[in-house]
A and B are shown apart, each in its own frame.
Chain A
Amino acid sequence: MTAKRKTASPRKAARPVKSAPPVAPVTPVADAPQFRYFHDKVAPWVDRGTVYGFELREELSKPTIEHGESAICALATVTTGSVFGITSGKRGHAFYFHPAFGVVDLGVISEKPVVGGAIVHTRDDILVGGWHGETGGMFRHAAAREFGTGQEDFYSRKEPLVPVALPATGEGILAVAWNASDRRTYAVTTTKRLVSVGDDDTTARVDVELGLQQPAPALLCLSDGTLLGAVDEGELWQYRPDAAAIERLAVCAPCEKGKRYVAGVQSLLLSRSGTVYGGTSTDGFVFAYDAARRVLTNLGKPHRQSVIRCLVEGHDGLIYGIVQEPHGMAHLFLFDPERRAFEDLGVLNAFIPVQWAAHSLGAMCTGIHGELFLGEDDTIAHLFAYYPPIPKKRGP
């Protein structure tokens, strides 16, 4: 047996063997532990993922959403990726965020003070929104052409806000939900009733009275077309569009003992799994509601503050929310349904394109790529985009 002599491969042979170049010794920074300490243990900013902050103005255009009328109270995403919102304050505006133009003012929805509002994506790229305050109102907006801009469009397109006539003039809108089953947008109003407008209608009708109690600013449409909402003391109700009345569910959102009379629901979310998540206005509890079994489970508190202002579901399967009580400091948090665990992510602070920390956040929605949009509701408000971290995966 003849042993083959091993030879170096041509490529290997072509490489001259060199000794490693001298490496300059790394001088440790004397204060490194101090800086690490500050970063790891003192800084309160959201640093899980990335935060961007945008002024409420369109590039190349004179700002028209003035300070004091820019507090974002509602956000919704359409399938093109644009994000639509409503502002409150001395007046109200509708706007959208487009990556080419920034925040585009669609116009004033109310010349009178606006306290809050709601907006929902319906079919195609159509949104329905409404507001309440000194007066109230509702509108529909078709957004498709606003996204379809060419490369020489230096200014935004603005399609009209089409008024929807409400049963009572000036009726305020607290919450909206779109029902794909009957292609109607339902709204909870300040006059304590449920109204709805068909996809092709411009006049809303009264569907049902909610009773004497004050309705919560939250409304969901479940997958079977049932509407789910809440009233004072955190009591849930549901309504099937073919029914004559709402059904009180005898299920209440959690609160601390002795606070039932001031308890309430502030936010509701239908997750992709079908579980309903909710947040309370008193004590800041997050709960899960199984609509089929009519069982409500208190999941606990993400933070010491009281109000769970918004809840959304990320593409990562996590539930994200804002907790902030009046005069408090808004914190972004997450709930992991698998681990049934909360995590406080901190205070939102952007450096690019603007440097701004958000003290008060009033609205959230999930973008089409899994980013989260958050609306500040302060005297001078900004729109924030939060990109959760991309999990590391092993490549091929």
Chain B
Amino acid sequence: MTTPPLDPAKCERVPFTQHPGHDTMWSMARGADGHVYLGLCLEGSGGGVAQLYRYNVTARKLEHLLDMGEVTGEPADNGHAAQGKIHFSLCPVSDGTIYGATHCTTPPKGHKYWNPYGMWDDPFHSFRGAHIFHYDPRTGKAVDFGIIYPNEGLPYLLLDETRGRLYGITYPKAHFFRLNLACRDLVDYGRVSSWYPIAASFDTRGNLFLGDTNSRLLKYDVAQDRLVFFDSAPYSHPWNSSMRYSWLCNLDRADDGRIYGTHYMNDHVYRFDPEQETPVFEDLGPGLPDSPARQVRALVPDGHGHLYYVVMGNGNILVRYTIKTGEREVLGRLQVGGADFWSWLSVLDRDGNLYMMGPRNPMSLAIYRPKG
């Protein structure tokens, strides 16, 4: 049975008309000003640079903020692999500013393919390295911190504002690091995974939880300043005994203090208590028990006892999960303006409206407003 689409009266598609050729959006964050900041990426073709946008929730319109070619001093046609992505890296600060980082895999202009391993040290076609930047919406200006890791992209960046630190992951070498914002001193903790971890979440004390390519839970213990590799992993299908390509996805702490997440290779949702010395995963079962699916994505807690997530199976279905009861409410199939879509991640604004990567061609932002 096909799930009916989301109520059209509650949905809006907002196209990126200034950059219609861009094809993905890997970073979304709600800023301290309440607006939604977006990293618009290009990875399917060569020579485009990432763009920082803001969706102004008051004016209900997209605002273009930064061109990463200009911020980094590496324009799209510089010959190297382009600064084409802002991955899971937008970090809002309480003063209203935003930290972020560029990321690789966008080919150089005129190229169709690019591989970070093969082009690692190529003097002409390599990725020169991701830039960390700091953007102030009040001035409209960005400070370029420069390249921290030559040749590496930064697919993940998190801010511990209390300690004035950024944590990050590199690609392709999958190193975990922290960067002190005051002195910009760098501590590298080495390689942590086959490929880079693609989800991370803080607990209330500033410990950071993330997972490797094989579902293994890692913790950066902030008090001891070291990484702990647990033998904990969430549910995996019995036939995936090696748990390869089984990243933890969409890790996010909900208002009950537990961290919730999804799985790269199955449709289960899980949670664990970060306060446990060795966290134990609790399997919450499939995103929709009656609708087996490939994956669940775009999980986000609403701060009021619910989770939103998208079950990606026969159509991509938006679900609201009640933490207390385990009840799953089907809200509808992801469709806006007649076009189906999917989204890896989502973010909520202060009014509880949900923002997702919308349909492409042209690339767009999809907004679901539960109250209409």
Contact = CB atoms under 8 A, between A and B. Distances in A.
B150 A327 contact: yes
B117 interface: yes
Interface in A38-86: 38, 41-45, 67-68
B213 A379 contact: no
Contacts of B121: 304-305, 328-329
A379 B190 CA distance: 6
A44 B113 contact: no
A38 B213 contact: no
Interface stretch (A171-179, A258-266, A349-357): A349-357
Given A327-B150, A353-B242, A355-B213, A347 B117 contact: yes
A345 B216 CA distance: 32
Contacts of A207: none
Contacts of A305: 121
A38 B190 contact: no
B340 to A, nearest CB: 23
Given A42-B113, A67-B229, A327-B150, A356 B120 contact: no
A98 interface: no
B159 to A, nearest CB: 24
A37 interface: yes
Nearest to A356: B194
A353 B244 CA distance: 10
A359 interface: yes
Contacts of A356: 194
A379 B150 CA distance: 19
B190 A44 contact: no
Nearest to A62: B231
Interface string A257-299: 0000000000000000000000000000000000000000000
B229 A44 contact: no
Contacts of B97: none
A384 B123 CA distance: 29
A380 interface: yes
A378 interface: yes
Contact of A43 (B115, B193, B194, B242): B115
Contacts of B190: 67-68, 378-380
Contacts of A42: 113-115, 118
Contacts of B113: 37-38, 41-42
B194 A378 contact: no
B173 interface: yes
Contacts of B191: 359, 378-380
A44 B242 contact: no
Nearest to A328: B121
Interface string A336-362: 000000000011000001111101000
B244 A355 contact: yes
Contacts of B118: 42-44, 346-347
Interface in B258-272: none
A45 B116 CA distance: 12
Interface string A110-153: 00000000000000000000000000000000000000000000
A39 to B, nearest CB: 11
Contacts of A329: 117, 120-121
A332 to B, nearest CB: 13
B245 interface: yes
Nearest to A43: B115
B192 interface: yes
Contacts of A68: 190
A355 B115 contact: no
Nearest to B175: A379
A88 to B, nearest CB: 13
Interface in A353-386: 353-357, 359, 378-380
Q: Which of A37, A43, A305, A356 has the most CB of B within 10 A?
A: A356
B150 A355 contact: no
A328 B120 contact: yes
Contacts of A347: 117-118
Contacts of B193: 380
A357 B117 contact: yes
B289 to A, nearest CB: 30
Interface string B140-156: 00000000001000000
A327 B126 CA distance: 14
Nearest to A381: B191
A164 B344 CA distance: 58
A17 B42 CA distance: 60
Contacts of A38: 113
A44 B117 contact: yes
A357 B242 contact: no
Nearest to A325: B121
A286 to B, nearest CB: 18
B194 A357 contact: yes
Contacts of B173: 359
A38 B123 CA distance: 21
Nearest to B245: A355
A305 to B, nearest CB: 7
Contacts of B242: 353-355
B210 to A, nearest CB: 14
A362 to B, nearest CB: 14
A246 B301 CA distance: 72
A379 B194 contact: no
A168 B194 CA distance: 41
Contacts of B244: 354-355
Max count, chain A CB within 10 A of own CB: residue among B115, B121, B245 = B121
A33 B289 CA distance: 41
Interface in B153-191: 172-173, 189-191
Nearest to B173: A359
A347 B116 CA distance: 11
A310 to B, nearest CB: 19
Contacts of B123: 304
B173 to A, nearest CB: 5
Contacts of A44: 115, 117-118
Contacts of A380: 190-193
Contacts of B150: 327
21 contacts: A41-B113, A42-B115, A42-B118, A43-B115, A44-B117, A44-B118, A67-B190, A67-B227, A68-B190, A304-B121, A305-B121, A328-B120, A329-B121, A355-B213, A356-B194, A357-B172, A357-B194, A359-B172, A379-B190, A380-B190, A380-B192
Given A45-B117, A347-B117, A380-B191, 10 more contacts: A42-B115, A44-B118, A67-B190, A68-B190, A305-B121, A327-B150, A329-B117, A357-B117, A357-B172, A379-B190
The 9 closest A-B pairs by CB, nearest first: A379-B190, A44-B118, A329-B120, A42-B113, A44-B117, A379-B191, A347-B117, A355-B244, A378-B191
Interface of B: 113-115, 117-118, 120-121, 123, 150, 172-173, 189-194, 213, 227, 229, 242, 244-245
Interface of A: 37-38, 41-45, 67-68, 304-305, 327-329, 346-347, 353-357, 359, 378-380
